[in-house]
Structure 1
């Protein structure tokens, strides 16, 4: 017989500052973040190919959209901020179900300069740690268009387990979307956390900032990936 869960409810995301070695994640504030974000993302209109919004015609359109996003509680949007204080990306905690202990990370929009960087990866670590250890979630999800190969690779690199495809799951920008589902469970988080932290160690990077050991290798050493 299945035993009852000793679980009450998780907490909703809040306006916290999550500080790491290479930058921080903080609640989106259009007044402080919009100028740097627009400069960072305007050079890559393809960033929005799989998003339900964008690209944006100009800075005013982007600012209007960003201001609307900042008011939402779900998705709850955070900015990824460089050490110089300039925002270079967005990520959200969303599909929030505190009573079930389920939350998703999504709406990830990284400027080209943030992609494949230590801060880009650290931001994902910080958000996952916050969801599991501070807010108390049992399940941390990642979903993306099944055709978005880059997002699927990122999910696997970050230690998410692929669970399958939901066919004809959505209509986005007038097109069918099959959705790939990934997750990390609370029981899996300690090993994934250790892999993240090993990768993020300064000693894992040479004088040019190049990684010595890939995150996938740390995940595999922890028995998380084949």
Structure 2
């Protein structure tokens, strides 16, 4: 057998980059969420509605309102989003082009949103922010709740309890109950973000420890100082707190706990 010479022709994939016009005006008025699980048209409680995040509808609101509060982006790997084109391309690159991730717009039914009404959006509640799913895997029967960002007026209110509770029902309820019946839902937070960890624990997630040097953050973000003699990747490091709420936790009292908190908040 003749000797075999090895080669490596790998090059990072270059995803398509739709124009801002295409992102704001989907061809034919049809927007493909490109998610690996069925996406419900809405999830709703007495106080909160979650609807699939459609950039042409929700991104102008999200970008305009979050740009006024740059501190909202302290613990996430993107932003601040100071211009609508940057926000649209971020969403296309990080979320829509990744079939394991999707976002929902969070609407607070207890408040009217004059800016949305003035724009003729008819959202059915005040735009409170977003909540997402990432690292979803039908084969591994799991998903992660993340990309949670609420406007200041919606923080420390009923909004997070109801938004997360609705997603937990969607992900962990049995199919006969209208859910996906997954085995595991996880929650990863910047280890410095104590408020996020407390929110997860309150909703019944269990701590599984800390993933050290879990992520490389963009330059300019706060994080751990990177090694000088490493592989040349630039940007500080992030340690992540890992928590989970699994199917046996859910059927063993977790569902009732979440419902109790949603009824109380």
Q: Is the radius of gyration larger for structure 1 or structure 2?
A: 2
The residue aligned with 2:229 is none
Structure with bigger RCO (C-alpha 8 Å, 6+ apart) = 1
Q: Does 1:196 align with 2:234?
A: no
* Alpha-carbon offset, residue 63 of structure 1: 3.7
Q: Is the 8 A contact 1:139 1:186 kept in 2?
A: yes
Within the candidate set 51, 71, 75, 2:101 is matched to 75
* Alpha-carbon offset, residue 15 of structure 1: 4.2
Q: Distance in 2 between matches of 1:159 and 1:55?
A: 31
Q: Is the 8 A contact 2:161 2:261 kept in 1?
A: no
Question: SS of the counterpart of 2:133?
Answer: strand
Q: Does 1:113 align with 2:153?
A: yes
Structure 2: stretches of 5+ with no match in the other structure = 1-35, 113-122, 174-178, 219-234
Question: SS of the counterpart of 1:12?
Answer: coil
Q: Is the 8 A contact 1:26 1:80 kept in 2?
A: yes
TM-score, structure 2 normalization: 0.67
TM-score, structure 1 normalization: 0.78
Moved more, 12-21 or 162-171: 12-21
Q: Is the 8 A contact 2:187 2:244 kept in 1?
A: yes
Question: SS of the counterpart of 2:135?
Answer: strand
* Alpha-carbon offset, residue 71 of structure 1: 4.9
Residues 170 and 72 (structure 1), Cα distance of their counterparts in 2 relative to 1, 3 Å cut: closer
Runs of at least 4 residues off by over 4 Å: none
Q: 5 Å matches for 1:117-132?
A: 117-132=157-172
* Alpha-carbon offset, residue 91 of structure 1: 1.4
Number of residue equivalences: 193
RMSD, aligned CA: 2.0
Structure 1: stretches of 5+ with no match in the other structure = 1-10, 205-210, 212-226
Question: SS of the counterpart of 1:77?
Answer: strand
The residue aligned with 2:77 is 52
The residue aligned with 1:154 is 199
* Alpha-carbon offset, residue 70 of structure 1: 4.2
